[in-house]
Structure 1
Amino acid sequence: MAMADPAATAPAPAPAPAPAAAAAATATATDTGTEQPHQPHQPHQPHQPHQPHQLHHQHHAPVAGFDYNPDPALDPANQHTHAHTHHSPRVDAAGHDDAVYTVNTTADPSLIPHQDHAHSHSHSPSHCPARPGPGPGPGPGHGVEKHHPLHSPPEYSGHEKVEHGHVSATRGSSSTDDDNDNSFWSRIKRLYRRYRPFSHLVYFLFFTGWWIASLVLHRNDMNWVVPFLVWLCVSLRLMFYYVPARHLSSAIRWLWDRSALFVYRKIPGAWRTPLGAAAALAVILVGTFASSEAADNTRANRAVSLFGMLVMIFAFWATSAHRSRVNWRTVIVGMLAQYIIGLFVLRTGTGYDIFRFIADRAGDLLGFAGQGVAFLTSDDIPDKVHWFLTGVIPAIIFFISLVQVLYYVGFLQWFIKKFATFVFWALGVSGAEAVVAAATPFIGQGESAMLVRPFVPHMTKAEIHQIMTCGFATISGSVLVGYITLGLNAEALVSSCIMSIPASLAISKLRYPETQETLTAGRVVIPDDDEHKAENALHAFANGAWLGIKIGATIIASLLCIIAFVGLINALLTWWGHYLNINQPTLTLQTILGYLLFPVAWLLGVSEDKHEILLVSRLIAQKVITNEYKAFVQLTKDSDYANLSPRARLIATYALCGFGNIGSLGIQIGILGQLAPSRGGDVSRLALSALVSGVTATLTSAAVAGLVVTDQIALFTAKASS
């Protein structure tokens, strides 16, 4: 778990005030808190259409630990900042924490028909500082300020403020536009800005009253945790408008620097990763073997599950695309987080309630697409016709429209920027990867990729591999209720989805480590922002619907062809097997894979009974070749599985809880290929590796369940009664 030392990594001062060095010095001074001379506010200039940038491909020094990335979006010459009323206000007058935009850096054509920009753009190259190159002369590097991983927590400042009597520079043009505009919405905005404290007080009183009323009216029959968390989030957001968030983050940084980081620096560099792995393993060992035994859950069975986890980690390291570039901090922290999440969800009622609430609300959100389907067809179709065409595709189209609106108002840019800062510090992965991984269990593999739509054409191969892996590793909230109605345990499904988030990051980074600089590792560079081509939110919503139709059609075509091809292969295998008297069961891909996965099922710690191990391995094969729904039906309805032991049933439920199947290849290839046609070759080459990684991440969650759940019957019966 390598960690950069600020003293060791601080760049030497430049001998001459070259433009690149001066810009870098300005950025460094800003980051260290040095006050910069205030620049007078420039009057708003009329919007000029974007001129094509010259794409400079200078050989500059890449970020330490990563190879040079020739992506023109990382070239400061192609970057700018712009302001409009829909983006979050600048959190720092110096502007170093703003998201950076690029133009004319994406090889793929725009997914949305071209329209005039509806917002004024203020090109500010000073906010995209270049790093000095290693040699003399101008050698600008990528204008992406990287936070040294783990040397201290990120510092935030999430409040709006006025500097020296006027609005900060990036907000200046938008404010000027509002002041000169007498439209209804502009007057509302001016009124809101004038009386903002009173508006915030009304918001706070409203949510406080709602929270208190919920406690009084439903203190016995409804959960109090979720309303409290909603009230807490709203209260903190309002508070940080007036109390700078950096006061809190600075205190955390101070405590971190004088505790964990102080101890860390005392450890020799060669011992840091082994000691980190040993500490994580110690936590898992104590949590696993300190618990009491149950009838079919002995410490010997748990030892097999733990051994299986270690074997899977070693196998992916041995087959890694770049073994020497594996970031072990990501792997160790990811696997430890998976175990801790399992403890939190399965051994505390609070953890389960929180994640079940999120999953249910995500399913409800996507379920509103059913009302549109009912209008277009019949009221009975959404409830009685459970087709992929009428159930999944409309939800994808609806969600893409919502995402387009969220990009238009600037919420997703703000969220990705904040999330990227923290995740890069904690796990060493890019913000785009982390956003997709965190969202997939709640909204699904197709919808989660849309959250980072502008970044897909610029992603490295490792990032593409990661977002595909996390899509294969979990199921989504939209199908959660359907699987629960089959008789499956809700706790197992919810916990498996959440546990697979860090597991997918760890397994993917073992199989395909990051070797290049990325756009969202620390600071965020947002390429070719299509969302600014909409005139208003309704226009953005309509653009999203059009984009959703294109992606939905691509998914349908890809699924049709891939599933038909699997059927062709099974037919040929069955015909060939008849001549060898292979009839019960017939020779198919499912049959072959079921036997090949027998050792894998044993490594999960299913049971000591070979018959149960074979049954579980066949379920996993059914899930991979067909889909998890058919495997779940087989688990709950097939008479062969009626007498399965509680431990074997538990591990089988976890092992099947993911979209890792051949049909999902069509969804992933269809969506990513449509979002970035120029990357279609990379997507296809990485798809099978990502599928194997996603399936394995799900299997590690099954192994962790074998470690954490000591008495399945007692635990689930108690939670059902509560």
Structure 2
Amino acid sequence: MDYSFDNLRSVFGFLLLLAIAWAWSSGRNRIPYRTVAIAIGLQVGFAFIMFTVPFLRTALQSIAAGLGVLLQATGEGTRFAFGYLAGGPAPFDEVNPENNMILAIQILPLMIVVSAIAAILWHWGILEKLCQGIGFVLQRTLGLSGPLGLGTAASIFLGMVEAPMIVRPYLERMSRADIFLVMTAAMATVAGTVMALYITLLQVTIPEAASHVIVASFMAAPAAIAMARIMQPPEPADDAIQKEVPPPKLYQSTMDAFARGVQDGVNVFIFVVGMIVVAVALIALTDIALAAWIPDVDGGPVTTGRLFGWLLAPFMYLLGIPWEDCVDAGRLIGIKMVLNELLAFIDLSAIAEGQLAPRSRVMLIYMLCGFANFGALAIMVGGLSAMCRSRRQDFLDLGLKSMWAGVMANLLNGTLLGIFLT
């Protein structure tokens, strides 16, 4: 394989992100460098094992086919409920059938189905055992407490509120450093509910999108641990292992899991639809204002996306993105941080195949694959405050910092891939 200067810049970018985290640390003399090094090793190990172990690679590649079946099944339900709006036979002649795709009806309902299935799998113990297994690995390698390892592992599959809910009985006794780690993990990962959605959006232009999105979410857990321990290291008096108590039972029966999974999925669906409508409207308002105040540049109007691209392009170049792709990369990262990662993924899926280098496209999947944005931060802090009111001030104090730690954990993932991708 032929490596280039882009790979060398990714090495520099990886070290740069760690240096930024170190500069932002609340206690540089307390940073547990061994824990950070092992976490980065696990980050590399997750990617290496899942991409090279034959049966795991086969499993990852088969997920795309499984999601196709799941999307087809979801389509049956949406067509039954919404008729031709969901792709059923139209009661009129179609003039432009290529424009018939309705995101809110034909794609987003997949989140509701995945939410219900995930709830059932959790109640049956399948998903819970998987989280406990990953949590055990994190506990034995990094010295995390059982609850902390379980909460971090749950973030790979559950949402930014649901994952901390697993460790709700421990929140009141957790140190600030451990609370920060839980919050950072929730910001750096994505839930299975939207993971399937991202894969569906991307697999048209990226055949192995399923593999990359899943590996990115797994890698985000140790990356979040590394960033959290650098930026908010434990105090000397912090107890590493807390008293173990059984995690809370989330569902009473399979039917309860099904009903609540559907309800949670509907809540996420409504929130996502509302977020898209408002975010796109705000972008349009900003673009209208910019067009009125600023003359055209290079033959085109100055837009929010172009501003993000111009501002972040030098930083993306330092992380290993080729210069010709840096404006697009900066625009997507800006949209992800300020607005929503779903909008960034929709935008990424719409970029033509020849407009973005394959290496840049894959790196961006890893950089975008996390909840860290201002809207998600508000939801997480609100949910945590409702779970444990006595630690509300800690959640508020650490919230913004945890969001930036989540952003840097995602960038660390993408930059790590950039070191090895040709």
RMSD: 4.5
- 1:519-534 maps to which residues of 2 (within 5 A)? 521-522=240-241, 524-526=243-245, 531=249
- 1:191-210 maps to which residues of 2 (within 5 A)? none
Q: How far 1:708 sits from its partner (Å)?
A: 1.9
Q: How far 1:452 sits from its partner (Å)?
A: 3.0
Whether the aligned pair in 2 keeps the contact of 1:503 and 1:697 (CA below 8 Å) is yes
Change in 2 beyond 3 A, CA 1:395/1:355: closer
Q: Which residue of 2 aligns with 1:493?
A: 213
Q: Which residue of 2 aligns with 1:338?
A: 43
Alpha-carbon distance in 2 for matches of 1:637, 1:332? 37
Match of 1:506 among 223, 226, 232: 226
Change in 2 beyond 3 A, CA 1:393/1:322: farther
Whether the aligned pair in 2 keeps the contact of 1:359 and 1:442 (CA below 8 Å) is no
Whether the aligned pair in 2 keeps the contact of 1:396 and 1:447 (CA below 8 Å) is no
Q: How far 1:513 sits from its partner (Å)?
A: 2.0
The 3-state SS of whatever aligns with 2:143 is coil
Match of 1:308 among 4, 13, 19: 13
Whether the aligned pair in 1 keeps the contact of 2:290 and 2:302 (CA below 8 Å) is no
- 1:532-611 maps to which residues of 2 (within 5 A)? 537-538=252-253, 542=256, 549=263, 564=278, 571=285, 575=289, 578-581=292-295, 584-588=300-304, 590-607=305-322, 610-611=323-324
- Residue-by-residue CA offset, 1:188-226 (whole Å, 9 max, x unaligned): xxxxxxxxxxxxxxxxxxxxxxxxxxxxxxxxxxxxxxx
Identity %: 25
Q: How far 1:317 sits from its partner (Å)?
A: 0.8
- 1:230-629 maps to which residues of 2 (within 5 A)? 292-293=1-2, 297-298=3-4, 300-355=5-60, 377=81, 386-387=103-104, 390-392=109-111, 395-396=114-115, 399=118, 403=122, 416=132, 423-475=138-190, 476=192, 477-488=195-206, 489-490=208-209, 491-515=211-235, 521-522=240-241, 524-526=243-245, 531=249, 537-538=252-253, 542=256, 549=263, 564=278, 571=285, 575=289, 578-581=292-295, 584-588=300-304, 590-607=305-322, 610-629=323-342
Q: How far 1:667 sits from its partner (Å)?
A: 4.2
Change in 2 beyond 3 A, CA 1:370/1:382: farther
Match of 2:362 among 650, 653, 656: 650
Gaps of 5+ in 1: 1-291, 711-722
Alpha-carbon distance in 1 for matches of 2:70, 2:161? 12
Does residue 1:687 correspond to 2:392, yes or no?
no
Change in 2 beyond 3 A, CA 1:478/1:365: farther
The 3-state SS of whatever aligns with 1:614 is helix
Structure 1 counterpart of 2:32, one-letter code: N
Whether the aligned pair in 1 keeps the contact of 2:131 and 2:154 (CA below 8 Å) is no
Whether the aligned pair in 2 keeps the contact of 1:655 and 1:699 (CA below 8 Å) is yes
* Range moving further from structure 2, 466-475 or 301-310: 466-475
- Residue-by-residue CA offset, 1:242-275 (whole Å, 9 max, x unaligned): xxxxxxxxxxxxxxxxxxxxxxxxxxxxxxxxxx
Does residue 1:662 correspond to 2:367, yes or no?
no
Which gives a bigger RCO, structure 1 or 2 (Cα 8 Å, sep 6+)?
Answer: 2
Q: Kindly indicate which of the two structures has a greater share of residues assigned to helix.
A: 2
* Range moving further from structure 2, 337-346 or 365-374: 365-374
Give TM-score, length-normalised by structure 2: 0.74
Whether the aligned pair in 1 keeps the contact of 2:166 and 2:248 (CA below 8 Å) is no
Whether the aligned pair in 1 keeps the contact of 2:307 and 2:331 (CA below 8 Å) is no
Whether the aligned pair in 1 keeps the contact of 2:136 and 2:150 (CA below 8 Å) is no
Q: How far 1:353 sits from its partner (Å)?
A: 3.0
Alpha-carbon distance in 2 for matches of 1:450, 1:530? 8
Q: Which residue of 2 aligns with 1:158?
A: none
Whether the aligned pair in 2 keeps the contact of 1:358 and 1:442 (CA below 8 Å) is no
Alpha-carbon distance in 2 for matches of 1:558, 1:668? 15
Change in 2 beyond 3 A, CA 1:347/1:400: closer
Structure 2 counterpart of 1:652, one-letter code: L
- 1:224-235 maps to which residues of 2 (within 5 A)? none
Does residue 1:707 correspond to 2:412, yes or no?
no
- Residue-by-residue CA offset, 1:607-642 (whole Å, 9 max, x unaligned): 2xx332222212221222333343334334335x73
Q: How far 1:506 sits from its partner (Å)?
A: 0.5
Alpha-carbon distance in 2 for matches of 1:557, 1:643? 32
Question: Greater Rg, structure 1 or structure 2?
Answer: 1
Q: How far 1:346 sits from its partner (Å)?
A: 3.7
- Residue-by-residue CA offset, 1:502-545 (whole Å, 9 max, x unaligned): 111111211222337778x4454338x7649x9xx43x963895
- Residue-by-residue CA offset, 1:256-307 (whole Å, 9 max, x unaligned): xxxxxxxxxxxxxxxxxxxxxxxxxxxxxxxxxxxx42xxx32x32221111
Q: How far 1:332 sits from its partner (Å)?
A: 0.7
Structure 2 counterpart of 1:526, one-letter code: V
Whether the aligned pair in 2 keeps the contact of 1:554 and 1:671 (CA below 8 Å) is no
The 3-state SS of whatever aligns with 1:642 is helix
Q: How far 1:693 sits from its partner (Å)?
A: 1.4
Alpha-carbon distance in 1 for matches of 2:162, 2:221? 16
Does residue 1:638 correspond to 2:358, yes or no?
no
Gaps of 5+ in 2: 88-100
Q: Which residue of 1 aligns with 2:96?
A: none
Change in 2 beyond 3 A, CA 1:548/1:524: farther
Change in 2 beyond 3 A, CA 1:458/1:376: farther
Alpha-carbon distance in 2 for matches of 1:500, 1:453? 22
Structure 2 counterpart of 1:693, one-letter code: A
- Residue-by-residue CA offset, 1:90-127 (whole Å, 9 max, x unaligned): xxxxxxxxxxxxxxxxxxxxxxxxxxxxxxxxxxxxxx
Structure 1 counterpart of 2:167, one-letter code: V
Alpha-carbon distance in 2 for matches of 1:562, 1:323? 40
Change in 2 beyond 3 A, CA 1:459/1:372: farther
Structure 2 counterpart of 1:575, one-letter code: A
Q: Which residue of 2 aligns with 1:192?
A: none
Structure 1 counterpart of 2:143, one-letter code: G
Q: Which residue of 2 aligns with 1:278?
A: none
The 3-state SS of whatever aligns with 1:392 is helix
Q: How far 1:309 sits from its partner (Å)?
A: 0.7
Q: How many residues align?
A: 400
